[in-house]
Chain A
Amino acid sequence: MKRTSIIILLFTIMLAISCEQNSNSIVVYTTVDQVFSEPVLKEFEKKTGIKVKAVYDTEETKSTGILNRLIAEKDNPQCDVFWSGDPLRTAVLKNKNILYPYTSKAAKGIDNVFKDKDNFWTGFSARARVLIYNKKLLKDNDVPQSVFDLTDEKYKAKVAIANPLFGTTTFHLAALFSVIGDERAKSFLENLKANDLVIASSNGDVKRRVVKGEVYCGLTDTDDANEAIKEGANIGVVFLDQKGIGSLIMPNTVSLIKKAKISDNAKKLFDYLLSEDTEIALAKSCAQMPLHNGVKLPDGVLSLDNIKPMNIDYNKTAGKLESIQEYLKAWVERK
């Protein structure tokens, strides 16, 4: 009896603690890696006194948790603010009528190309898709400079990309289809496949394979490349197609979730994420490129001004993805 009482008491305490409602709080779901997003959210807490309750996602589940959770919670949303690592996931939510439009004053200095035309999301701090290569295995002359070089026989079975059904690789391929057209893009992918391209489980896995020398080079994001360099890996980074179609730039996005009452705290966090402070913090922690003009960059972080970006419409690219997804699935599954 005594033991049962203790168990019931423990259970009640747990429920009581966890059900504690804090009116000065906000719920944020983010697909941005916790190592980078958590410090920004903590800083917001410190500056405003508003408690941030975050849900992070994992590499292993490839953002399934948060996206599916937001979709499943649609009728009774728990989340106030969605911070995404790329605009594509946000576009999925926009199409499912889960987002609420908001125009932030803090977005004033950000180019319109990085904003949704209906204000369902606003972009900030961007990553880029880059090629990383193992300096031991590839001489400077042999380093590919264009994504299309990867079909060259000299890289046979020595190039890795992450599974294009998930993450930013999906975005990259959808952007390619948008820019060069379906026919050319499909032909490029078929040639890659014929060249025994290695399909890794994630961008992190691409980084790992390049660092360990399993492959010569691979496509990944600037934050992965930056982490590898911080770890002391002997790799080089190339912004591809600087004389051609340009490199894909992927801004973070912030959105409000549609619910009965949009709290002021949600708007405060929205504004804070778009601030220059956040952009500086992300530039320092993971070399993300600020979208505001004139933000002072830490050493080693490139400015967007120095990169030729791929000329895409983010909403149209999201639409393109839907039309090519079945093809990509078949492409991945084909031996």
Chain B
Amino acid sequence: MIISHNKSISSNLLYTIVLLPVLLLLVLPVLNIVVLTFFGTNFPESIASINRDLFLLLLKSLAVSGIVALISTFIGIVLGFSLYKSDIKYRNVFRLLILIPLFISPYILAVAWKDISVLIFDYNTSIFEKTYSFFGMILVHSTIYSPLSILIIGSALSNISKQMEESALLMGSFKDMFFKILLPLIRPSIITSFVLILIFSISEFSVPAFLGFRVFTTEIFTQFSAFYNHNLAMLQSLLLIFICVILLVSERKRISDSVFLSIGTRGREVKLYSSKKIVVFSYIILSFAVVFTVFIPVSILVYQSFKTGTSKFMEAIFLLLPTIGNSVLLAVIGSIISVFIGFVAAYYSEILNKKLMNMMLLVLFAIPSTIFGIALIKFYNNSLLNFIYSSFGILIIGYVGKYSFISAKLIGNSIKQMPKSMEEAAVIQWIGFFKRIQKIVIPLVLPAIFASFIINFLFCFGDLGTSIMVYPPGTEIMPIKVFTIMANATESLTSSMALIVFLVTILLVSLLFFIFKKIIAKYNVNY
């Protein structure tokens, strides 16, 4: 439903104030590089290189990422149900533990799993070498992206009406209820999980590169780093962006009217299953997941860090300490701006049917990080905008461009679930636009705002792809320091640094959870 009274000067003003910087600071650099690509001198050569083999490679990448998305989404359904619908103890501890793979760099996980696999399997055959890269990529990507699926599907499961489930259980068995009621109700979130993970997986470069598995992103990377052919790399990236946009648009069309994801249940009663079978199954499956995706890789890191004593760990602390302040501050600023833009884009898209900004954020999200970095350099590196390019401002622009869509998506889905009657009542009372946003909309979507802040923070804090292209000379941020040091550092120093990043992230996320819990509690009292 569209609230017609909202078409006021204030509402248009806010939209314009946010849309203009998004357009000028984020979208224009990308348009600039697209124009440069199409009018570049070697465009005819580049277009001739887009051949059948390239499309086959794109299909192969889609197929592999599709498998990753299927596995991750399946894990999301099973673990999401165990975490959000079964009556188990220590649910919150499990929820935090299960998110841990999101905090570890894909590259480091790939190295850890390779070491583990070599220990377990017989590597004295070339079959291991040839098959590991394929299975390794599926394993590592599924491990990394399953937590996202658990979050998306788990949230949808939390929002199913208890009455509906209970009525279904009165009419039939648990199995019937699960397959005929629960699964169809969370179908939109299953589709979202599948599509988002497919996009994340198909855009990720470091894992296939480490495992020597040729996919579309490694091809783009080769054009960049071996041939320095920006034009062809950009054209190839446009193909990837096109696929991602098609996927996201079709997902949006398919589930545009569905309520599927929100963070927090706002007092809605959640049906928890306490039958022994379900609880035991949940414990087993969750314990297995924690051991497999968290305990084993983290143990490897701990072992490698301390096998020669504590000196390397101390050295890693000494190396990373100067980077923590900058990294946290930049990630916090980037996340605040991303959440603000995401909120505005989501609100106008869902309530006022203005979808332009949301669409722009979607396209920016789908652009490979390196390409986005090059776009920023080409646009900002001139005497007029040098004050941005040579400052931390460029990093914040990079973060906001890459990750605002995540906020728009999460907050948008929460806005979809907002009871419209409250805002309508306020409109009838002639309460102004900004007052309504401040007193009605924000409190209602506050949990989603905080959740998207945390997820954005995680992505900004760990960003490497765009940051490495634009970070100002003489500055240090944590992910870049880790990766530039680990190039020729000892195994124990590399593991120590990965472990420190992991511990700092856990600490910060826990701190953010604690702060947000307090704020939400305060809002609920006042509201």
Contacts and interface: CB of A to CB of B under 8 A. Distances in A.
Interface of A: 7, 10-11, 14-15, 17-19, 25, 27-29, 33-36, 51-65, 67-69, 71-73, 75-76, 78-79, 92, 96, 156-157, 163, 165-166, 170, 196, 198-201, 204-205, 208, 212, 214, 223-224, 227, 230-231, 286, 325, 329, 333
Instruction: Identify the 9 closest CB pairs spanning chains A and B, nearest first.
Output: A53-B474, A59-B487, A53-B473, A64-B225, A18-B391, A58-B483, A33-B488, A56-B484, A165-B226
A134 B484 CA distance: 27
A224 B396 CA distance: 35
Contacts of B389: 78
B336 interface: yes
9 contacts: A14-B329, A34-B487, A53-B472, A53-B474, A54-B473, A57-B468, A72-B374, A76-B383, A325-B227
Contacts of B287: none
Contacts of A54: 473-474
A205 B210 contact: yes
Contact of A198 (B129, B209, B488): B129
Given A58-B483, A72-B381, A10 B329 contact: yes
Given A58-B483, A78-B381, A27 B488 contact: no
Given A7-B336, A59-B486, A68-B374, A199 B393 contact: no
A68 B390 contact: no
B163 interface: no
Contacts of A78: 381, 389-390, 473
Contacts of B230: 68, 71-72
A231 B490 CA distance: 7
Interface in B21-74: none
B225 A333 contact: no
Contacts of A15: 387, 391-393
A61 B474 contact: no
Name which of A36, A71, A199, A201 has the most chain B CB atoms within 10 A of its CB: A201
A212 B118 contact: yes
A156 to B, nearest CB: 8
B83 to A, nearest CB: 32
B483 A329 contact: no
B377 interface: yes
Contact of B226 (A57, A73, A325): A325
Give chain B's interface residue range (CB within 8 Å of chain A). Answer: 35 or more
A284 B470 CA distance: 32
A195 to B, nearest CB: 10
B490 A69 contact: no
Contacts of A19: 387, 390-391
A214 B487 contact: no
Interface of B: 107, 115, 118, 123, 125-126, 129, 206, 209-212, 214, 221-222, 224-228, 230, 329-330, 333, 336, 370, 374, 377-378, 381-383, 386-387, 389-393, 396, 464, 468-475, 480-481, 483-492
B386 A76 contact: yes
Name which of B386, B470, B473, B486 has the most chain A CB atoms within 10 A of its CB: B473
Nearest to B105: A60
Contact of A36 (B210, B226, B382, B488): B488
A35 B489 contact: yes
A231 B327 CA distance: 30
A63 B225 contact: yes
Contacts of B206: 60
Contacts of A10: 329, 333
A121 B386 CA distance: 28
Contacts of B115: 212
Contact of A68 (B118, B225, B488): B225
A72 B391 contact: no
Contacts of A170: 226
Contacts of A55: 471, 473
B371 to A, nearest CB: 10
A142 to B, nearest CB: 16
Contacts of B227: 325
Nearest to A53: B474
B354 to A, nearest CB: 23
Given A35-B485, A60-B107, A68-B224, A230 B474 contact: no
Contacts of B125: 157
Contacts of A286: 488
Contacts of A212: 115, 118
Contacts of A73: 377, 381
Contacts of B393: 14-15, 18
Nearest to A92: B228
A210 to B, nearest CB: 13
A63 B374 CA distance: 14
Contacts of A36: 488
Nearest to B376: A72
A31 B496 CA distance: 23
A156 B127 CA distance: 13
A64 B481 CA distance: 16
Contacts of B107: 60
A64 to B, nearest CB: 4
B126 A157 contact: yes
